[in-house]
A and B are shown apart, each in its own frame.
Chain A
Amino acid sequence: MSVTTFSGPGLDSRVALARGAIEVDVSLTAEPGQVIGILGPNGGGKTTTVLALAGVLRLERGHVRVAGQLWADDTHHLEPEQRGVGLMLADSLLFPHLRALDNVAYGPRSRGVGRSAARARAHTELERVGLGDLAGARPAELSSGQQARVALARALATDPALLLLDEPLSALDPDTRARTRSDLATRLAAYRGVTVLVTHDPLDALTLADHLVFIEDGRVTQTGTPSEVLREPRSPYVGTVVGLNLYAAQGDSHGHVETADGGRIVTTSPTEGSVWATIPPTAVSLHAHEPEGSPRNTWRMRISSVTMQGQSARIGLVGDVPLTAEVTLESVAALGLRVGAEVWAAVKATEVRTYPR
């Protein structure tokens, strides 16, 4: 696809600018109705990208084209109020002195819609997020989840061609978060523009987005559908997000894989050359003595961390091939797993996947 001739109805952008210590250069494209999930470590340039798309920050290079309209390029810059953009941030940032209805009507009013028409529109938007009966409430009288829904209604009341959601759920407590997430999913399903959703919660990304973009240190490190990313992570950060042990390695045709740190892994799915190798934490078994029999990979390891996760525990292991293992709480007790202890880790060769780097 040639970037310069693209003039489709969706989002076509390359955002390049320096902000603080970080140089951001990120390209994003999307079809109308798509939800792009942006993930990445803090300080990696996610918010900078969003603010540049909104027009709050200026591009140094690149372009932003939305719904066939040029919003910004090297020489041209539309101010945020001239763009058809909706913005929702972590703190819902409602105007505290305005009632919910007037918060939502603020956008249409600012864009020249008459008072009663703007209020009617605001009512409709509030009803669509299930808050029709709270139109008269001030933000301080609303729960955090309700505030987030009002903020979403406010962002959508101007019919933006591009909706930017920067960590929209991160300020909510876990309970509210799950409910608001499903409200958000429902509302986004009916939205016809492009949505860019920034999050650090993989669950948000997997449940809300249909395309994922990972941004690390100002650059895109991986893009793909959630299932592609889950199967084949391509950076250590993505590996952590999707919960897989990931190694940059060299593979040969016989199933021998050597990691960059010199660890050796055996696999039944060989790939030659530079590869990524993955091991699911659930495929790692731990033993007090060196195991015999079928597993082709066994390493003597030291436990560096133990964390609980529901009915299972995640054990951080250091050794030739640093690993995270997921085991039952019973094995934690039975094997006496604690930080500093030495154990044997075993992984069947059939559980190790490799794919070209």
Chain B
Amino acid sequence: MVSARRDARVAPPMRYAARWRSRVVLGVPAAVALLLLVVPLVALLVQADWSRIPSDLATPTVLPALRLSLTTTSITAALCLLLGTPLAWFLARSDHPATSWARALLTVPLVLPPVVGGVALLLTWGRNGLLGQYLTPFGIQIPFTTVAVVLAETFVAMPYYVLAVEGAMRGLDPRLESVARTLGASDLRYLCTVGIPLVLPGIAGGLALAWARALGEFGATITFAGNFQGRTQTLPLLVYVELERDPQVAISISIMLLAVSVLLLGVLRGRWLR
């Protein structure tokens, strides 16, 4: 047929081979990348002894760690909400040069190795730390306490929250605020009645990210808060300990954390992310 002959002229055999070559050149590394990400997750699921999970999770060490993780991550999320929202508000509204510096500083904890964060926290809140030295006379000691766990989690999680909420707030039409102010609303009233209700999806997304980051926090916590059962031993720290004592318990906890993460992601994708 005429059209077939035309096709043959447009796509000669050389072309066909070239297409296959480019598919291989791009496809192989892409497949490797995917495998590097997926295989570990599969390994976790395959290697787990599923029948043991309920009893593993009932081990006496797990319950305190679970309770501690839930408490500290919830407090961290609350701190993000109460302190991070106003910070995001100022960052979103201001064009002052200092603002871009503040935003740059805020991203440092995102890329900082968590252990370094832990060291920095020790130098801040430790017995002779920048702030800690003023607390020592009052008999207040922060390192290696539950408070230290919360501080470590907040240190790593807050930037996620602030950046997410700031992004949402920047998306607000600034003319809405002009209109609200001519109607008689103060800054604070505008924020509470219009600003926050309109960025609720951003706040929810930011909270979920921050909470997930806090739940997985390991490096800064173990450096700054130590690994004391019932006081500073969160789930990730327990996984690390159990891996040497009873690997199956470590796997069971890991599966639980994986399930929580996937669940969170599912909720986020359905409601707040696309």
A-side residues, CB < 8 A to B, are 51, 54-56, 79-81, 83, 85-87, 89, 91, 93, 95-97, 106-107, 110-111, 154-155, 158, 160, 164
Bound CA span A85–B183, Å: 7
Known: A89-B175, A97-B197, A110-B183. 20 other contacts (CB 8 A): A54-B182, A55-B181, A56-B178, A80-B178, A80-B181, A81-B182, A81-B185, A83-B182, A85-B182, A91-B175, A93-B176, A95-B176, A95-B193, A97-B194, A97-B198, A107-B183, A107-B184, A110-B189, A155-B183, A158-B183
- Supply 18 A–B pairs (Cβ within 8 Å), ascending by A: A56-B181, A80-B182, A81-B185, A83-B182, A85-B182, A86-B183, A89-B175, A89-B179, A91-B175, A95-B180, A97-B197, A106-B180, A107-B184, A110-B180, A110-B183, A155-B183, A158-B184, A164-B182
Which residues of chain B from 160 to 182 have a CB within 8 Å of any chain A CB? Answer: 173, 175-176, 178-182
User: What B residues does A54 contact at CB under 8 A?
Assistant: 178, 182
B183 touches A154 (CB 8 A): yes
* B186 at interface, CB cutoff 8 A: yes
A110 touches B185 (CB 8 A): yes
What's the interface size class on B, roughly? Answer: 10 to 19
Q: Smallest distance from the beta carbon of A244 to chain B beta carbons, Å? A: 35
0/1 string, B177-221, CB within 8 A of A gives 1: 011111111100100011001100000000000000000000000
User: What B residues does A106 contact at CB under 8 A?
Assistant: 180, 183, 185, 193
B179 touches A93 (CB 8 A): yes
Q: Beyond A95-B194, A106-B193, A110-B189, is A81–B181 a contact (Cβ under 8 Å)?
A: yes
B194 touches A86 (CB 8 A): no
User: What B residues does A79 contact at CB under 8 A?
Assistant: 181
Q: Smallest distance from the beta carbon of B198 to chain A beta carbons, Å? A: 6
A86 touches B182 (CB 8 A): yes
B178 touches A51 (CB 8 A): yes
Q: Which residue of B lies closest to A104 (CB)?
A: B183
A87 touches B184 (CB 8 A): no
Bound CA span A319–B184, Å: 57
